[in-house]
Amino acid sequence: MFIVLLVMDQVVKSYISAVMLLGETIPVIPGIFHITYILNPGAAFGMLAHQRWFFIVAGIVIVAAFLYYYPRLKRQCGWFHYGCVALLAGAVGNLVDRIRDGLVIDYFDFRIWPVFNIADIAIVLGVASMIYAILYKMKDAED
């Protein structure tokens, strides 16, 4: 799952940056969903813009923590385990961009939300899966 998410993220980012001009937008559903090529210097919603080294160090810490805890993580419920894998894939996908360019390539544009990418989706779904596991699945295992 990690490899699939990471490769999908990087292939789409490479394609978008190769065929679109920075700032270009292509309406898929006009006024609702567009593909818009932007470079994000920060995190979600542009927070902490231009803090490249902070995000690189944070990404490396996430990878190191995952590798350290992975033997224990494999024994957790699937929701938690795969949530962590998705979170890691998203973090590494954006880390690759930050190391290579100092910026993250974003392109999904729903017009009512900041533009985002596949790595961002993986991070959000991974964290949601982990929260679900902690609140419902892991608690059930303790009972």
Catalytic residues: 106, 120
Q: Which residue has the tokens 């810490």?
A: 61
Pair 86, 130: CB distance under 8 Å: no
Q: Is the dihedral of CA 92, 97, 98, 103 positive or negative?
A: negative
Helix (H), strand (E) at residue 40: strand 33-40
